[in-house]
Homo-oligomer: A and B are copies of this chain.
């Protein structure tokens, strides 16, 4: 059963990235020489991989890797919740506190309001905390929100406006004593700190939130679609030096 061996080996090589995605594999003739097998056997192996969707071929063109196996895993990811559920984990939101407060300076700068609803909570996956989140909502929206509603539904479903996008700032920091306890990590260990301003379709800010993630459990994936800005030489685009 030589063709199964060969199929396995080629599959391994494809998945190891030896043949980059979308690019050509060696021709059947070359593979036949390399594996010291006949073209019939090589074809049988390749056709098995084609059936699995790993590679494909066009007559007169050649064999190529069908889809980037690496990219597939990073692929488009839905919400964190959906991703968690896909893996069978149980997502939970635990509200720490809920009430109106005087807006911190940077929140007031965005929302304008002086009084805002502040909701602090912990997000858990499979009973393990993976984020500490604080959300500030303008008073006019906050008045109609209840603690129960907030714990049951995402904010974006509760707000009476259509959301148009967001700007988020990602930084690193050392875990504060409080965050460390809430997230069950050592004080001072690295965390990802993300501040987000969500705005409606008119680009009016409607939500300010801060998210803190333990570094060992989370990372961001950002797609930079058109590279105009891209200069691998300097720094990832979007980076900003502060102070």
A209 neighbours in B (Cβ, 8 Å): 232
A230 neighbours in B (Cβ, 8 Å): 156, 163, 165-166, 198
Is the C-beta of A16 less than 8 angstroms from some C-beta in chain B?
A: yes
Contact with B along A96-112 (1 / 0, CB 8 A): 00000000000011111
B218 lies within 8 A of A242 (CB): yes
Give the residue of B108, B111, B155, B236 whose beta carbon is less than 8 angstroms from that of A211.
B236
B172 lies within 8 A of A190 (CB): yes
For the complex, would chain A's binding face be called helix, strand, loop or mixed by DSSP majority?
mixed
B220 lies within 8 A of A109 (CB): no
Contact with B along A214-243 (1 / 0, CB 8 A): 011111111111111111111111111111
Is the C-beta of A17 less than 8 angstroms from some C-beta in chain B?
A: yes
A38 neighbours in B (Cβ, 8 Å): none
Contact with B along A108-136 (1 / 0, CB 8 A): 11111000000000010100001101010
Give 10 A-B pairs besides A83-B241, A174-B215, A194-B239 with Cβ atoms closer than 8 angstroms. Answer: A21-B203, A22-B203, A72-B226, A79-B234, A83-B240, A135-B232, A167-B224, A174-B189, A219-B242, A221-B240
CA distance A222 to B111 in the complex (A): 19
A170 lies within 8 A of B170 (CB): yes
A240 neighbours in B (Cβ, 8 Å): 74, 77, 83, 218-221
B166 lies within 8 A of A219 (CB): no
Give the residue of B24, B188, B237 whose beta carbon is less than 8 angstroms from that of A79.
B237
Is the C-beta of A84 less than 8 angstroms from some C-beta in chain B?
A: yes
Give the residue of B112, B224, B238 whose beta carbon is less than 8 angstroms from that of A18.
B112
A196 lies within 8 A of B236 (CB): yes
User: Given A77-B240, A227-B166, A240-B220, is A123 in contact with B232 using a C-beta cutoff of 8 Å?
Assistant: no
